[in-house]
């Protein structure tokens, strides 16, 4: 299928090659394609290794999206609402996979905003009322998202969203990446739960000295 990834940072740089390897067509959207190719060295290297990867402005990338495919929000948390809101019309009817975290690193440590009584997943769904937003993969380091094998052990990826068909499509993609334990938490409101795990993710990564871990719901 056709997958549009919005954002060219570390998450895009691990997801795009994984989607290409599965045989999907991948279009990447960015604010300014010329600037991305000039200053984003990681992304430029990615395009050199994967000539099939297409790059376009946000608006053109979304216009090229397929309603039978997926649009992935991989824009950094604090910036993504401003980038996504103007695309609301074009994104109507599309499944939007939100993998972002609402962290604010402007202080000495990450603080979540929104938190507790709202989530970025819900805010994105409100900004894109015609889209089917599915929150997932946001409890993991970028490098673990498309490669769930951690020391040969199974762990859990969570999905939150209001539309069952959209969650099923995302679940199929996750399984094709190797995820065996896909846990449907419920509506997009449950994005609060996975976003609030960011604090645990940061503290665990500091305690362990690695980003290569996952959360398994043992039951």
Angle, vertex CA 193, rays to CA 191 and CA 197, nearest 5: 115
Closest contact distance (angstroms) between CB of 110 and its own copies is: 10
Identity of the residue, 33 or 214, whose beta carbon is nearer to its own copies in the bound complex: 214
Residue that has been written with the tokens 């994105």 in this structure: 124
Identity of the residue, 66 or 162, whose beta carbon is nearer to its own copies in the bound complex: 162
Identity of the residue, 87 or 177, whose beta carbon is nearer to its own copies in the bound complex: 177
Closest contact distance (angstroms) between CB of 202 and its own copies is: 7
Identity of the residue, 66 or 215, whose beta carbon is nearer to its own copies in the bound complex: 215
Identity of the residue, 52 or 207, whose beta carbon is nearer to its own copies in the bound complex: 207
Closest contact distance (angstroms) between CB of 207 and its own copies is: 5
Closest contact distance (angstroms) between CB of 191 and its own copies is: 10
- Decide: 113 and 154 in contact? Cβ < 8 Å: no
Q: Count Cβ neighbours within 10 Å for each residue of 169-197 and write b for 16 or more, e otherwise.
A: bbbebbeebebeebebbeebbbbbebbeb
Give the residues lining the site for its own copies (CB under 8 A). 111-112, 115-117, 150-151, 153-155, 183-186, 190, 192-194, 196-197, 199-200, 202-204, 206-208, 210, 212-219
Structure tokens at 39: 């200053």
Closest contact distance (angstroms) between CB of 184 and its own copies is: 7
Instruction: Please say whether the dihedral angle defined by the alpha carbons of residues 158, 199, 120 and 55, taken in this order, is positive or negative.
Output: negative
For residue 95, CA distances in Å to 4, 98, 108, 126, 199 come to 10, 10, 35, 14, 28
Angle, vertex CA 137, rays to CA 175 and CA 23, nearest 5: 45
Closest contact distance (angstroms) between CB of 120 and its own copies is: 14
196 contact partners, CB below 8 Å, separation of at least 6: 112, 115, 116
- Residue 145 to residue 33: CA distance in whole angstroms: 25
């Amino acid at each position: 299928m056709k997958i549009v990834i919005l954002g060219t940072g570390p998450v895009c740089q691990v997801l795009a090659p994984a989607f290409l390897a599965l045989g999907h067509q991948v279009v990447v959207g960015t604010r300014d394609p010329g600037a991305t190719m000039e200053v984003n060295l990681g992304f430029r290297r990615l395009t050199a290794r994967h000539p099939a990867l297409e790059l376009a402005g946000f608006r053109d990338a979304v216009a090229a999206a397929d309603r039978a495919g997926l649009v992935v929000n991989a824009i950094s948390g604090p910036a993504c609402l401003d980038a996504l809101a103007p695309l609301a019309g074009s994104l109507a009817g599309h499944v939007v996979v939100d993998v972002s975290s609402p962290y604010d690193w402007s202080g000495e440590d990450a603080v979540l905003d929104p938190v507790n009584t709202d989530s970025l997943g819900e805010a994105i769904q409100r900004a894109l009322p015609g889209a089917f937003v599915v929150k997932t993969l946001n409890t993991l380091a970028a490098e673990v998202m498309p490669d769930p094998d951690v020391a040969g052990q199974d762990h859990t990826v969570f999905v939150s969203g209001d539309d069952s068909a959209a969650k099923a499509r995302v679940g199929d993609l996750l399984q094709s990446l190797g995820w065996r334990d896909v846990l449907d938490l419920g509506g997009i409101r449950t994005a609060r739960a996975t976003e609030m795990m960011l604090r645990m993710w940061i503290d665990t990564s500091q305690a362990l000295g690695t980003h290569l871990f996952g959360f398994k719901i043992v039951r």
